[in-house]
């Protein structure tokens, strides 16, 4: 394959048209937002349809549309199937979200819970983990935008990356969480329709026997269910997904924004809707060798194969689907991370007397600042998407046990939670650098589990859950 599926000008035109549409929609939805709580948590009144759609759409991201094919290209069948297990993160977060909503009726962020439940030291560690993860994910999304345009149209990576970041920052800035959730709903419809369309067209255009024969002859490990690195990757990916969702304010802010009875059903539905998507997006990568497609970087394989099989019209569909997926995650992450900066750092530690108007302004400055920081970190295309994301796995997987146990078990003291997160992260990073990215989250989770268990056994406190119901003091 020598030519790109799309003319660079067509690719850029799609970005401009959709970008303007999202920005206008964000402005329209955000024009009536007057308070910081409305901006940050959409008035805590999101219903089931929007809640399920935002849960699914936010989780369909560069992970699903670019990394699932990348991992399938590298790990074969296990990469594809194993990646879909990340749906367990959403499904298992369903009961946790209901618990969060009950314990923290006035909460804003995941940082609120850690600060009130485990104290300042654990909160500091948790914030480091959250920001490393948020920046890692933001950078991966920015990179994905650049890679997408480059793979489909040959347009310079830096132009695509800058354009997508600029658009998402702008409409999140205008609309806050209400706009984020509403655009997620539309983006979810686009994603589901597009993915089903691509799957149907692929199955009718590419012969399964030919794909299988080519893989068996020239790339046999991709069909091997005893592929060692892929086997090691499987549970690592599950713990990575659990850690991502259990700790991230992207999901906590949604749990707090949904109506009381909605959170459980919404996350469960979102997870079940998400489950088959990596299978479809990952499957396209298996056709790459048969089509003679050997991308410069493995994270380009998904859109490249889809465009090659489906032609220009298919490339346009793929482009719109991936662009929607990126936007639905970027906006959520910008909103949730800016909430952490505004609420946890600015309001709770730098300016406790800040009024609603000041917090509103601080939140918007945080969104813009995060956008600029992400753009700077995206400039050097330092690594592949999967490697970048899995680097953060060592951090997030260390939070799973302290959060789960901390939400239900009153004995666990903050020093053990902090120890579990610190030791888990350090051991996970050691695994990442000494063995490979496919063990980082597993090691982090294991070490954290042991320390949390010791903590429950050794702790003598009986935490008063009422302390989590923090009253607001903003004017």
Minimum CB separation from another protein for residue 140, in Å?
11
Minimum CB separation from another protein for residue 31, in Å?
32
Backbone phi, then psi, for 46, in 5-degree steps? Answer: -85, 130
**Both tokens assigned to 311:** 């032609």
Query: Toward another protein, which CB reaches closer, 179 or 341?
Result: 341
Minimum CB separation from another protein for residue 324, in Å?
24
Minimum CB separation from another protein for residue 143, in Å?
11
Query: Toward another protein, which CB reaches closer, 183 or 342?
Result: 342
Q: What is the DSSP letter of 64?
A: I
Distance CA(172)–CA(154), nearest Å, equals 28
Distance CA(45)–CA(59), nearest Å, equals 21
Minimum CB separation from another protein for residue 300, in Å?
7
Query: Toward another protein, which CB reaches closer, 169 or 439?
Result: 439
Contact in structure between 310 and 198 (CB atoms under 8 Å): yes
Query: Toward another protein, which CB reaches closer, 408 or 457?
Result: 408
Which residues, at least 6 apart from 435, have a Cβ–Cβ distance to it below 8 Å? none
Query: Toward another protein, which CB reaches closer, 65 or 236?
Result: 236
Closest CA to 45 of 249, 275, 214, 260: 260
Minimum CB separation from another protein for residue 40, in Å?
20
Which residues, at least 6 apart from 382, have a Cβ–Cβ distance to it below 8 Å? 388
465 to 301, 403, 415, 468: CA distances (angstroms):
49, 14, 18, 6
Contact in structure between 335 and 179 (CB atoms under 8 Å): no
Which residues, at least 6 apart from 57, have a Cβ–Cβ distance to it below 8 Å? 184, 185, 187, 188, 191, 324, 325, 328, 329
Query: Toward another protein, which CB reaches closer, 317 or 442?
Result: 442
């Amino acid at each position: 394959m020598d030519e790109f599926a799309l003319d660079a000008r067509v690719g850029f035109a799609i970005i401009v048209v959709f970008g303007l549409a999202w920005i206008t929609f964000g402005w329209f939805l955000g024009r009536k937002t007057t308070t910081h709580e409305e901006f940050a948590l959409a008035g805590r009144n999101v219903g089931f349809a929007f809640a399920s759609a935002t849960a699914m759409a936010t989780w369909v991201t560069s992970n699903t549309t670019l990394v699932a094919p990348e991992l399938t290209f590298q790990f074969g069948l296990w990469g594809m199937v194993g990646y879909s297990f990340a749906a367990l993160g959403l499904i298992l977060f369903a009961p946790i979200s209901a618990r969060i909503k009950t314990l923290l009726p006035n909460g804003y962020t995941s940082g609120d819970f850690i600060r009130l439940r485990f104290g300042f030291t654990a909160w500091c560690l948790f914030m480091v983990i959250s920001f490393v993860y948020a920046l890692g994910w933001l950078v991966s999304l920015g990179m994905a935008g650049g890679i997408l345009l480059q793979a489909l149209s040959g347009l310079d990576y830096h132009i695509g990356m800058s354009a997508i970041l600029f658009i998402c920052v702008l409409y999140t800035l205008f609309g806050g969480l209400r706009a984020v959730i509403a655009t997620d709903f539309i983006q979810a419809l686009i994603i589901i329709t597009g993915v089903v369309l691509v799957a149907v067209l692929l199955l009718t255009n590419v012969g399964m026997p030919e794909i299988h024969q080519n893989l068996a002859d020239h790339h046999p490990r991709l069909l091997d269910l005893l592929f060692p690195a892929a086997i090691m990757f499987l549970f690592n990916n599950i713990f990575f997904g659990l850690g991502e969702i259990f700790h991230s304010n992207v999901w906590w802010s949604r749990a707090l924004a949904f109506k009381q009875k909605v959170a459980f059903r919404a996350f469960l539905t979102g997870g079940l809707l998400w489950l088959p998507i990596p299978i479809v997006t990952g499957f396209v990568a298996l056709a790459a060798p048969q089509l003679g497609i050997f991308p410069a970087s493995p994270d380009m394989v998904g859109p490249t194969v889809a465009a090659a099989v489906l032609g220009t019209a298919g490339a346009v569909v793929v482009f719109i689907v991936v662009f929607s997926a990126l936007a639905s995650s970027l906006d959520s992450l910008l909103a949730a991370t800016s909430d952490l900066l505004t609420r946890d750092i600015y309001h709770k530690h730098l300016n406790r007397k800040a009024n609603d108007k000041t917090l509103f302004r601080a939140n918007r400055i945080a969104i813009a600042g995060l956008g600029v920081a992400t753009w700077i970190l995206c400039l050097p295309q330092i690594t592949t998407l999967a490697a970048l994301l899995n680097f953060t796995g060592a951090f997030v997987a260390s939070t799973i046990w302290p959060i789960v146990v901390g939400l239900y078990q009153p004995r666990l003291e903050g020093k053990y939670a902090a120890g579990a997160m610190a030791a888990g992260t350090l051991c996970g990073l050691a695994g990442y650098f000494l063995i490979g990215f496919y063990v980082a989250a597993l090691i982090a989770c294991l070490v954290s589990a042991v320390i949390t268990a010791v903590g429950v056994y050794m702790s003598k406190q009986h935490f008063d859950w009422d302390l989590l119901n923090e009253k607001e003091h903003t004017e």
